[in-house]
Structure 1
Amino acid sequence: MNVLIIYAHPNPASFNHATLEKVKQGLKEKGHAFTVIDLYQEQFNPVLKFGETSKRRDLKNDPETERYRNLVKQADHFIFVYPVWWYGTPAILKGFFDRVFVSGFAYIYEGLMPKGLLAGKSAWVIYTIDSPSWFVRLLRGSTEWKVIKTSILKFCGIRSVKRMMFAGMKGSSIQRREKWLQNVYRQARQL
């Protein structure tokens, strides 16, 4: 299985980075081929630009994002690792979707109906959030999950999407975080 990890956190000392390392360790031990896109380390430019000279419909041929499109095309499975900020992905990851998962590459419209072009691929979404899980689910309606699962990934044809949410990060103990990391490692080995 060819796995593409898309990682979006600016701090190499973060829990998200520790999560990334456990994912890589588990995949490596099971012999999976994987590539990591560290959006901050690569200084990915999340700003989507188009206008009179460059049209939105031409983004599928943008040479600046060609490498990323090729990696997406080659991948069988995606793993996203990121924190939730303001009940959404970090801007750099949102920009990655805006610039790489573009019309004509990740989806098309057949008449007025969208059709995902990334069918047959699967995804594992791992994210941290400071709010407790009951708050996320009951008061926020899991907005952060619905957007990435349905509005982005399923829209692009990725039907098998699994979530691992680490809620209540702000008040979590070292012991709890260690258990979370061991769970990530076990799940990565079972991929």
Structure 2
Amino acid sequence: MTNTLQSEKHKSLRTTIFLVIAAIILNSVFSFANAILHIPLFLDTVFTVAITFYCGLIPGIIVAIIFNPLMTLVWCIINNTDFYIYDCLYAICGILIVVVTWALSRNKNEFYFNRTVTILYLLIISFTSAFASCVSATILDTFIRPFFERTLGLSMIDNLSVSFQKLKFSVFLSYLLPRIPITVLDRIICTFSGFGIYRLLVREKKTC
């Protein structure tokens, strides 16, 4: 009995590690596709959300922590630029998205009460994580960024913020206002897509 339990734990751990690695790789693929297609969204947390739904808080945070610095490094290599530590700090936004997603979906009895309730929960997760992401990223850009001499500057928000500053908006609002519609739409797409992938994983597990 003990050996069986240990075997199941090892199998579960191996599955979790595999899914974490897969989530990081697939997030990267989505990020590259987004850059190539010039879609005005981020779309790089779909699998972060999926892994959080399926595996829980810690695996989701691991994906969020690793993904952002990894993509910063990759973009620096592609653009032949220096590695900028500041751009890694956006991992904080990913971590907050994971925490919000996990916290609002952990009560499975309420979350799956019926389809309408599930959709409402997903919308709440989308808007709450959008708020957390918007505010944290704006705080970083407004108050932390000035301490760094240079950044990679690949964010679509950078160009939009310049336009708002020319209109005499404060630095904080110049980063916040253009970020709101982009982030809200991004969070809705990523949350619902991530949940769909989670449901596929659950269905696949049941058939195994």
Q: Same fold (TM over 0.5)?
A: no
Of structures 1 and 2, the larger Rg is shown by 2
**Higher normalized helix content (fraction of residues):** 2
**Higher normalized strand content (fraction of residues):** 1
Q: TM-score, normalised by structure 1?
A: 0.29
